[in-house]
């Protein structure tokens, strides 16, 4: 076969993978919703009154529970033990959205399996269906990504192309489940990095997201998840000032959520050596909290819908409005680190929306005119979600879509920007790639950098190296016999020649990690900084 023929065949396989990944992501999202709805009504609905909010959404009672109170802790504990059992049966697998990000960034997709997707589906159903606190984006991301990875293996795609297809499937699954396809595509492009957009991932995600969305609404119909009639004027001085305040408050709650999530995870790590005991005790604790604050149980999406109207916020006692963001943080981090299965994206939405509703309530009580309650609630949702997962643009677009494709007020955009700026050093997903290098140094070769460090030379560009190596015998870098740049100090380091440095920043293979540690120990001698050196400026 000619080179052109192979190229056509390769892109044909990629196109087929994208098409099938979109269909699989849509079916995966629909399956998750069906199974979770059934489990919730069968388990949690048997002991707690579930109040319908919209089609497919429900909420728990506003005040403390008065009936079947002793059954709630037992139910949550049983659900978390069931999820722990399923996870152990599933064997080696990635762990939610962060696991998918790590798999894509390292291009090791072997942990993304159909069996793992099935285990995630079942674990999510018993955890969230019994009242454990978590979201649905992590499960749908892993399910869609696993199905996409299976397709890439069947079609024998190269690692780089397979990683892009899996990324597109991740975004398509999230966009389909939340009925926000554009936001899902942007999320896929932003999630891989702590800052910036992966444009190649976006190019792959944009055609896949509408396919998954179309499959999902063909089965469930279309209705905006948090559809509202009005978000107020695009510009209003008082309303904008209140929304800016929402951004500041959400910066605090986001930092509290992310820091608590990681620290509680480290604290509970020793306890997970006895997984079933830990799951039972933690589940009982979450259930006890749920007796007094039932709105902190399960996904909490219905709570967001309740807080979109002034009458809904007025229904809540002030102590409940104040406590809900903090209680949701506590129940989520305990559930997810003690054996429960769920996402961290959804709780960020609930925490942020509750923070926004609190700001609206306080502004109203102070005699201000903050505008529609929905604007504050959704501004809080976006201002917590975007910074927590380092995807501010996706959060703004996502919020506009779940609200019913309204133009977001200026204050909402400012709230996200402020919250993101105040929390730029934290993320729920440690596997996201660090910040990008400056353009001048994006093509530095790792081997060249290491050899330059040893020789007390600044790393050169590929073009300069080529010029030196093509020079005569008197050139210091001419390739005659052994490489003159190779010294005793660099022998034994992995040969990573022709590998762009930016592609290895998130690589956790032992040999690559050793190369980076070696370079970092020596960089002070020559003033090298990974984002550039003193001649190149910052990133």
Residue finishing a domain among 162, 189, 220: 220
Query: Domain check: are 197 and 290 in the same one?
Result: no
**pLDDT of 159-218, one tens digit each?**
999 999 999 999 999 999 999 999 999 999 999 999 889 999 999 999 999 999 999 999
Residue 55: pLDDT over 90: no
Task: Tell how many helices (H) and how many strands (E) occur in the chain.
Answer: 20, 4
CATH code where residue 180 lies: 1.10.3080.10
- Give me Rg for the CA atoms of the chain: 25
Cα-Cα end-to-end distance for the chain? 44
Query: Domain check: are 457 and 409 in the same one?
Result: no
Query: Domain check: are 38 and 74 in the same one?
Result: yes
57 falls within a domain: no
The predicted pLDDT at position 62 comes to: 83
Query: Domain check: are 148 and 198 in the same one?
Result: yes
**pLDDT of 295-310, one tens digit each?**
999 999 999 999 999 9
Which candidate, 358, 347, 376, places its Cα nearest to that of 137? 347
Q: At what angle do helices 3-42 and 114-129 cross, to 10 degrees?
A: 20
- Which tokens belong to 344? 């961290």
Residue 477: pLDDT over 70: no
**Whether this model's pTM surpasses 0.85:** no
Query: Domain check: are 453 and 416 in the same one?
Result: no
Query: Domain check: are 179 and 252 in the same one?
Result: no
Query: Domain check: are 245 and 283 in the same one?
Result: yes
**pLDDT of 207-245, one tens digit each?**
999 999 999 999 999 989 988 878 888 888 999 999 999
431 falls within a domain: no
Q: Are 181 and 209 in contact (CB under 8 A)?
A: yes
Greatest alpha-carbon span in the chain: 89
53 falls within a domain: no
Q: Which DSSP string do the residues of 437-450 spell out, in sequence order?
A: PPGGGTT-BHHHHH
Query: Domain check: are 24 and 84 in the same one?
Result: yes
Q: Are 144 and 24 in contact (CB under 8 A)?
A: yes
473 falls within a domain: yes
Measured torsion, CA atoms of residues 451, 453, 454, 455, in degrees rounded to the nearest 10: 90
What is the domain count for the chain? 3
Query: Domain check: are 408 and 445 in the same one?
Result: no
Query: Domain check: are 297 and 387 in the same one?
Result: yes
**pLDDT of 255-282, one tens digit each?**
999 999 999 999 999 988 999 999 999 9
Q: How far is CA 103 from CA 116, 380, 530, in A?
A: 14, 31, 23
- Which tokens belong to 446? 């790792």
Which candidate, 70, 68, 48, places its Cα nearest to that of 288? 70
Residue finishing a domain among 192, 220, 248: 220
Residue ranges making up the domain that contains 443 = 439-533
């Amino acid at each position: 076969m000619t080179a052109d023929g192979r190229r056509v065949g390769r892109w044909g396989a990629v196109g087929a993978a994208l098409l099938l990944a979109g269909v699989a992501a849509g079916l995966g999202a629909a399956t998750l919703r069906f199974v979770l709805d059934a489990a919730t009504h069968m388990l949690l609905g048997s002991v707690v009154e579930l109040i319908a909010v919209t089609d497919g959404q429900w909420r728990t009672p506003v005040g403390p529970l008065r009936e079947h109170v002793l059954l709630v802790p037992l139910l949550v504990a049983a659900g978390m033990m069931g999820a722990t059992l399923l996870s152990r049966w599933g064997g080696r697998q990635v762990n939610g959205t962060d696991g998918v990000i790590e798999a894509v960034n390292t291009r090791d997709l072997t942990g993304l399996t159909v069996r793992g997707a099935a285990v995630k589906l079942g674990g999510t159903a018993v955890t969230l269906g019994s009242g454990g606190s978590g979201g649905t984006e992590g499960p749908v991301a892993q399910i869609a990504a696993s199905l996409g990875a299976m397709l890439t293996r069947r079609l024998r795609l190269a690692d780089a192309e397979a990683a892009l297809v899996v990324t597109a499937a991740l975004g398509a699954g999230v966009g389909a489940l939340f009925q926000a396809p554009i936001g899902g595509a942007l999320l896929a492009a932003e999630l891989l990095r702590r800052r910036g957009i992966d444009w190649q991932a976006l190019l792959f995600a944009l055609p896949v997201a509408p396919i998954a969305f179309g499959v999902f609404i063909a089965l469930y119909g279309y209705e905006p998840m948090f559809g509202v009639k009005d978000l107020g004027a695009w510009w209003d001085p008082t309303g904008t000032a209140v929304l800016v305040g929402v951004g500041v408050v959400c910066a605090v709650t986001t930092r509290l959520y992310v820091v608590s999530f990681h620290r509680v995870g480290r604290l509970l790590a020793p306890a997970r050596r006895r997984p079933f005991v830990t799951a039972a005790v933690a589940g009982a604790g979450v259930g006890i909290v749920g007796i007094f604050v039932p709105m902190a149980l399960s996904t909490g999406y219905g709570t967001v819908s309740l807080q979109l109207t002034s009458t809904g916020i007025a229904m809540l006692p002030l102590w409940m409005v104040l406590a809900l963001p903090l209680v949701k943080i506590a129940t989520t981090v305990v559930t997810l680190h003690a054996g429960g299965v769920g996402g961290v994206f959804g709780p960020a939405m609930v925490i942020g929306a509750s923070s926004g509703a609190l700001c609206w309530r306080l502004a109203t009580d102070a005699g201000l005119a903050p505008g529609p309650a929905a604007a504050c609630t959704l501004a809080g949702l976006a201002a917590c979600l975007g910074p927590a997962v380092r995807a501010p643009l996706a959060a703004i677009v996502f919020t506009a879509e779940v609200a019913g494709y309204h133009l977001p007020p200026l204050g909402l955009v400012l709230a996200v920007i402020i919250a993101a700026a105040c929390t730029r050093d934290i993320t729920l997903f440690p596997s996201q790639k660090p910040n990008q290098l400056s353009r001048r140094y994006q093509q530095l070769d790792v081997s060249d950098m290491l050899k330059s460090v040893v020789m007390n030379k600044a790393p050169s560009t590929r073009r300069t190296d080529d010029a030196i190596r093509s020079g005569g015998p008197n050139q210091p870098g001419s390739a005659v016999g052994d490489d003159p740049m190779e010294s005793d100090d660099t022998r034994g380091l992995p040969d990573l020649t022709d590998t762009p440095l930016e592609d290895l920043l998130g690589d956790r293979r032992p040999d690559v990690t050793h190369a980076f540690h070696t370079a970092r120990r020596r960089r002070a001698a020559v003033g090298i900084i990974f984002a550039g050196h003193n001649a190149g400026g910052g990133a």
